[in-house]
Structure 1
């Protein structure tokens, strides 16, 4: 760099127009002498009134002057500008630093005669001009700011404008994991990669932090969406490492297409982006309805009212009973309700998502836990043997929040944690399985029961459940709502499959959304442990629960009494009633059906037996609705004389019959079956319909085998499936 040669006073006057703090120092053999200083510099540098003509080392003590002199020495010896940062000498309660530059001025012989010192406190007019010039540019990426993008959009005429609003997912976490410097480098790369994907004459701007705005012209809706997909695909090329694990960059994009003023296009695209983020990473949403903006305005109003509602204790808790189909025990689910004097009755489906976007969900949850604890203490006769379920929001799936919102509250009310059941969702577990295992174990250690709510609507896999110490699952209502319809075979099969596998994993099964007696009967026949829904009871205030339960159980008792009275009035024999039930089903001599054959195939494979069959037994014969492995003559005629079958024993005794070795059985009549058929093992479970034993579900083998209680229970559970299919058949025929 050439040495600076000019009139020192001219340069001082020039820089005075730019900076508040300017020093003109003469260099001689004694040091650095103050020749001219701006008024603001005198004040901010705490110079004395007689500063002019004095040397730097005379004015300040050595502690202050020595560092300054070393910087001036460097400028004087090299003849090059020196840049440094140092503590300011102004009198203040806090330590302040400033960046400074020393500009050496040489004579015609190249000797440094003067030094101009500049400190980065700009003059007011210069600051205003500089800010006016840089407010349109993002300092990090060099992209236009939002203000500049709006200015450019206002100049576009006779073209349709489309706005894409890009948000980088998990930006706060990225910042925490990588640090500001590394994150800034990543943002610059993202900006460049995004720019490379855009068509000519596009506008790309950075709004703030993790948000970018893109404008394109004369693109169709499909073309804009395709561009958005390309942008997200390009972003996925980047990743960042946390603890050695490479995590991809993802984003969400909201789109708004003309017509509209640039301001409204940007606002609507932002609203669409927020909706996209609700759907999850790498989502794209197109703004189509003007009422989307109104929805966001409504959310702001609702958030304010909810905040007030929590302060004024407007939230209350209703309880929906859950009935154990085997023991008639009753448990409850706590459901929050909000009756707002301003908004009226507000559905949880509306205000819970709003609360989850803020910390208000913590206050809502704490309120629910507190009110449940109060009700458990106030109504001990109702809750003595009952558990109460409380839903845990996904945003609260953290050990410290659980401790604060649950444990601290129940300890304050001296509530037994075993009285509380925590309902979580599949997504909460599968989003981070390792963390899910830790949180579930933490809840279990605290004494809570833990169940999966809305099971089947997301990952729909019982296989992963073996990794979690769960107590049960709640089958989502979407599977229950159709099982009482004529074409419900598939739904029943799914529900039955879920129940059977859950039982294998020792999980308690609850069906929610049960609204009809037919649904109740089917679920009971399938072996579902517990039902919840309007058929049993709607959600109620705690003080109304007992009367609702009394009404339901009285209704059931009346129904049973009516059935008993009808049976007595008919005065027919047990065998006649059994045969009438077979006649009602109208199942005899019907063609083979896949739904029954599917059951026998599954059982044969699960038990590894050569023979499995479903049979109906009337007064003279055993007729096979489905059979696998029976001798050819029987498969052809599909029947055998009643007296020649072991299944007749099941009909007569009305209970399962298990014979592990026919040849070794003490009764000669049983041994005769072995000699006649060569079969050694027999397991038969009675099939019931409307309380009557109408047939059997059987497995047999040519070799003896042991059969434990678990296997017997499995066969009983399959029998429930058969009974359900028979009832469906009768309603369809």
Structure 2
């Protein structure tokens, strides 16, 4: 019996020990699970709440106390509407109700704080499913800090819709606002205006003083425009020195809106005309402004932009620093330009274009060369002035083919003169588009080799604006051509950005005094002084000088007395067909 009792005690003790070991193991496992869960929860950067349907906080976990609107112990037992802004609280309660109805809600965003302390959060809520019967529902809410994401979205939006330099709306934003304004104007029966603004001499300032200074000027222009706008009106930067102003609700009809739009434009024009102070220096820049009114039947935002742009260019054509409205006649002029472009394409193919020469003489009146000029004899229009078709050729790109043909004519002419031992030079104009071609130097080399022309007698005439565009590249390209023997002349000198700073850097041979300075000399003291100054500058820089537009003996005598090297104008001969001029030169002049 004792043995049996002892065995039972031993079995019970063994079972108890086994149970204790099992309990200790389970406790350890539970503790490990709890620690793992605790570590996981602590690692979550979000705020974790247990909430009631009324927004009351029953439990709170956090790993970043800085995200809380108040210390954690003060928040438990409080309702959301008591501790956050009304709009944020209303959103949280709406999200709670949605989770109560459907089991979960996600994606609600709310903002806490203000100014530099403002932060954004995104709320996800799930209903707890283990509530006892009759117990009020509880919800688990996860609040994630999305401030960096919102800032990134804001930066992306700003890059997409705003100009990086001025902070103004860009073209994309402008078109969106124009669509809205056009719709609103049609609904309300109100007339608005679109003003297209282009700075008149920005390119010269930008090229002469550098892009950084040009950028500072653009920022000041933008600020002046913004300061003058009425509430609700918009100014945008399209790019470069182009700005657009969108003006709303000028009047109830076009007739009254016109003067109102002109008044706005004049205010802007006068403001932009005032000098700009940059780095303690004053700079001047005027603006040309084109205006179109809206709404108009069957016209969209792109139509309005085109009309305002057309009007702006008309303002520039009339002398710059002007304001012009878009009119039907302007559009007709655009259509005429397109027709002229098509006719010019046909002219090149059908032999309507011809090379003419105007002679150049020395101080003794002896022919020393000539300027090669292009003329267009249209079968219907008759003789089309170069001032009409050359800008069309440049804008359309036809100037490249036409320019190549003129250089070929010049080189072939030089080769024939050379063969006849006639030591004459030929000048030919080179457009900026032609000069900027990547292979221009090689093309010149090829023409010189194929024709056998002496490059020392070929003078390429370029404008001042071409020279100061990408000055370093210009100098490098001109230097390559000088190595070939080609010489350079600045055409219409004095009408552009005349600066000794670039004159002394460029490998130049000649300056051509523009005819606008010659026509009133020597009677006009100002023109006389300008001409003599140009000649003096050229002499000090060892440059040859040719005066254009010489029509009277008094002009010629004055220029010769002022030590001008060459003369060109009607006094010595009008432009004549190349072959006719060449035949006479081959016969000895």
TM range (shorter): 0.5 to 0.7
User: C-alpha separation between the residues in 2 aligned to 1:532 and 1:142?
Assistant: 51
User: 1:255 matched to which residue of 2?
Assistant: 290
User: C-alpha separation between the residues in 1 aligned to 2:396 and 2:130?
Assistant: 70
Q: Does 1:199 align with 2:199?
A: no
Within 5 Å, which residues of 2 pair with 1:27-66?
none
CA gap 1:386/1:258 in 2 versus in 1, 3 angstroms: same
Q: 1:273 aligns with which of 312, 336, 344?
A: 312
Alpha-carbon contact 1:382-1:546 (below 8 Å) kept: no
Q: Deviation at 1:162?
A: 3.0
| Structure with greater contact order relative to length (CA < 8 Å, sep ≥ 6) | 2
User: C-alpha separation between the residues in 2 aligned to 1:550 and 1:232?
Assistant: 56
User: 1:519 matched to which residue of 2?
Assistant: 555
Q: Does 1:440 align with 2:478?
A: yes
Alpha-carbon contact 1:253-1:284 (below 8 Å) kept: yes
TM-score normalised over the length of structure 1: 0.47
Within 5 Å, which residues of 2 pair with 1:447-458?
447-458=485-496
User: 2:173 matched to which residue of 1?
Assistant: 141
User: C-alpha separation between the residues in 2 aligned to 1:198 and 1:156?
Assistant: 21
Within 5 Å, which residues of 2 pair with 1:535-574?
535-545=571-581
Q: Which runs of 5+ in 2 are unaligned?
A: 1-45, 49-103, 108-123, 132-168, 252-259
Alpha-carbon contact 1:138-1:145 (below 8 Å) kept: no
SS in structure 2 at match of 1:443: helix
Alpha-carbon contact 2:290-2:308 (below 8 Å) kept: yes
Alpha-carbon contact 2:182-2:295 (below 8 Å) kept: no
User: C-alpha separation between the residues in 2 aligned to 1:268 and 1:337?
Assistant: 32
TM-score normalised over the length of structure 2: 0.57
User: C-alpha separation between the residues in 2 aligned to 1:317 and 1:278?
Assistant: 28
CA gap 1:162/1:383 in 2 versus in 1, 3 angstroms: farther
User: C-alpha separation between the residues in 1 aligned to 2:197 and 2:264?
Assistant: 16
User: C-alpha separation between the residues in 2 aligned to 1:255 and 1:141?
Assistant: 20
Within 5 Å, which residues of 2 pair with 1:238-317?
254-256=289-291, 261=296, 263=299, 267-275=306-314, 285-287=323-325, 290-317=328-355
CA gap 1:347/1:405 in 2 versus in 1, 3 angstroms: farther
Q: 1:417 aligns with which of 441, 451, 455?
A: 455
Q: Deviation at 1:322?
A: 0.7
Q: Deviation at 1:458?
A: 2.7
Q: 1:394 aligns with which of 419, 426, 432?
A: 432
User: C-alpha separation between the residues in 1 aligned to 2:198 and 2:384?
Assistant: 31
Q: 1:227 aligns with which of 254, 268, 274?
A: 268
CA gap 1:227/1:153 in 2 versus in 1, 3 angstroms: farther
User: C-alpha separation between the residues in 2 aligned to 1:272 and 1:439?
Assistant: 37
User: C-alpha separation between the residues in 2 aligned to 1:251 and 1:148?
Assistant: 31
Greater per-residue helix proportion: 2
SS in structure 2 at match of 1:439: helix
User: C-alpha separation between the residues in 1 aligned to 2:448 and 2:485?
Assistant: 11
* Alpha-carbon displacement from aligned partner over 1:496-523 (angstroms, at most 9, x marks no partner): 3432332232211111111122322332
* Alpha-carbon displacement from aligned partner over 1:418-443 (angstroms, at most 9, x marks no partner): 23101122233344544443333233
Q: CA RMSD in A?
A: 5.2
User: C-alpha separation between the residues in 2 aligned to 1:206 and 1:500?
Assistant: 43
Q: Deviation at 1:333?
A: 0.8
Q: Does 1:374 align with 2:412?
A: yes
Alpha-carbon contact 2:535-2:545 (below 8 Å) kept: yes
User: C-alpha separation between the residues in 1 aligned to 2:464 and 2:488?
Assistant: 12
User: 2:465 matched to which residue of 1?
Assistant: 427
SS in structure 1 at match of 2:176: coil
Q: 1:364 aligns with which of 398, 402, 423?
A: 402
CA gap 1:138/1:475 in 2 versus in 1, 3 angstroms: closer
SS in structure 1 at match of 2:361: strand
Q: 2:182 aligns with which of 150, 155, 160?
A: 150
User: 1:506 matched to which residue of 2?
Assistant: 542
User: C-alpha separation between the residues in 1 aligned to 2:588 and 2:327?
Assistant: 46
* Alpha-carbon displacement from aligned partner over 1:447-474 (angstroms, at most 9, x marks no partner): 2111111122234455752332211111
CA gap 1:472/1:193 in 2 versus in 1, 3 angstroms: closer
Q: Does 1:339 align with 2:377?
A: yes
User: C-alpha separation between the residues in 1 aligned to 2:436 and 2:578?
Assistant: 30
Query: What is the total number of aligned residue pairs between the two structures?
Result: 417
User: 1:479 matched to which residue of 2?
Assistant: 517
* Alpha-carbon displacement from aligned partner over 1:542-565 (angstroms, at most 9, x marks no partner): 222157679997xxxxxxxxxxxx
User: C-alpha separation between the residues in 1 aligned to 2:452 and 2:435?
Assistant: 23
CA gap 1:252/1:296 in 2 versus in 1, 3 angstroms: farther
User: 2:31 matched to which residue of 1?
Assistant: none
User: 1:67 matched to which residue of 2?
Assistant: none
Alpha-carbon contact 1:316-1:368 (below 8 Å) kept: no
User: C-alpha separation between the residues in 2 aligned to 1:293 and 1:143?
Assistant: 22
User: C-alpha separation between the residues in 2 aligned to 1:531 and 1:141?
Assistant: 55
* Alpha-carbon displacement from aligned partner over 1:253-311 (angstroms, at most 9, x marks no partner): 6432669837486553220234567899x966423664333222211111222223233
SS in structure 1 at match of 2:567: strand
User: C-alpha separation between the residues in 2 aligned to 1:528 and 1:448?
Assistant: 22
